[in-house]
């Protein structure tokens, strides 16, 4: 009698690569160089606004579809925040070059991300990976994704449309910057608690 073949282990759904949310995140990443070229090359701001708007839409859709279709994955948990960070960073730098945002605002937000990036080796040293994105960080990113197209619109149009766009742009930028910095503080507190717990376990 032939020995029975060992059963293949069921693949963990979290290891899936080709999912609808992951494809949307990859498309969002692919839009970054196009957005930068439109903004810094031909200065085609209307098309740049369209790319930003589509980025914000896919950012909302990939999370929604991941829950609706039960397609959450480890790759998606990495791609989604990575795309958000890269869009935010590239937009800030481009807006600084175009003088749409003052450089001190750009510097504050970029320094915040650099500080959080430096915590990754510390977390790995204590046996932990990157911490989950805080809801405050998601709210900050959402505010900035609303602010960026409005800043471009206020920069390009005139009259009452420019005034209205400017008012909303300033509001969303202010809220987004404040929440972005505060979410960074909360993340650092989470890192401190994680490191402290790891040290207690080691002892």
On whether residue 8 sits in a domain, the answer given is no
Q: Does residue 120 fall inside a structural domain?
A: yes
pLDDT digits (tens, 9 = 90+) for 28-78: 888 899 999 999 998 888 888 888 888 878 877 877 777 787 877 777 777
Would you say residue 82 lies in a domain? yes
Q: How far apart are the C-alpha atoms of 100 and 153, rounded to whole Å?
A: 11
Per-residue 3-state assignment (H helix, E strand, C coil) for 109-152: HHHHHHHHHHHHHHHHHCCCCCCCCCHHHHHHHHHHHHHHHHHH
The two structure tokens encoding residue 103? 């450089």
Q: Report how many domains make up the chain.
A: 1
The rounded Cα 202 to chain-centroid distance in angstroms is: 34
Integer-rounded Cα Rg, in Å, for the chain is: 20
- The whole-angstrom separation of Cα 90 and Cα 174 is 19
Find the CATH number of the domain harbouring 142: 1.20.120.1760
Bigger pLDDT: 164 vs 21: 164
pLDDT at 10 over 60: no
- pTM check: above 0.85: no
Residue 6 belongs to some domain of the structure: no
Task: Flag whether 125 is in a domain.
Answer: yes
Residue 1 is predicted with a pLDDT of: 47
* Contact predicate 84/141, CB 8 Å: yes
Torsion angles phi and psi, residue 4, rounded to 5: -65, 140
Query: Which structural domain range is residue 23 located in?
Result: 14-202
Whether residue 55 lies inside any domain: the answer is yes
């Amino acid at each position: 009698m032939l020995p029975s073949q060992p059963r293949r282990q069921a693949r963990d759904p979290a290891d899936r690569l080709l999912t609808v949310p992951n494809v949307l995140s990859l498309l969002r990443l692919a839009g970054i160089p196009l957005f930068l070229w439109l903004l810094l090359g031909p200065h085609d701001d209307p098309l740049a606004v369209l790319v930003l708007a589509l980025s914000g839409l896919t950012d909302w859709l990939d999370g929604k579809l991941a829950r609706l279709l039960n397609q959450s994955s480890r790759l998606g948990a990495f791609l989604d925040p990575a795309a958000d960070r890269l869009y935010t960073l590239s937009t800030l730098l481009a807006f600084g070059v175009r003088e749409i945002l003052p450089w001190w605002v750009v510097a504050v937000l970029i320094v915040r991300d650099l500080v959080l990036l430096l915590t990754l080796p510390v977390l790995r040293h204590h046996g932990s990976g990157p911490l989950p994105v805080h809801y405050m960080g998601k709210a900050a990113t959402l505010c900035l994704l609303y602010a960026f197209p409005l800043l471009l619109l206020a920069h390009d149009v005139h009259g009452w449309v420019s005034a209205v766009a400017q008012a909303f742009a300033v509001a969303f930028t202010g809220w987004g910057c404040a929440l972005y910095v505060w979410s960074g503080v909360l993340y650092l507190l989470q890192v401190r608690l994680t490191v402290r717990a790891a040290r207690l376990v080691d002892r």
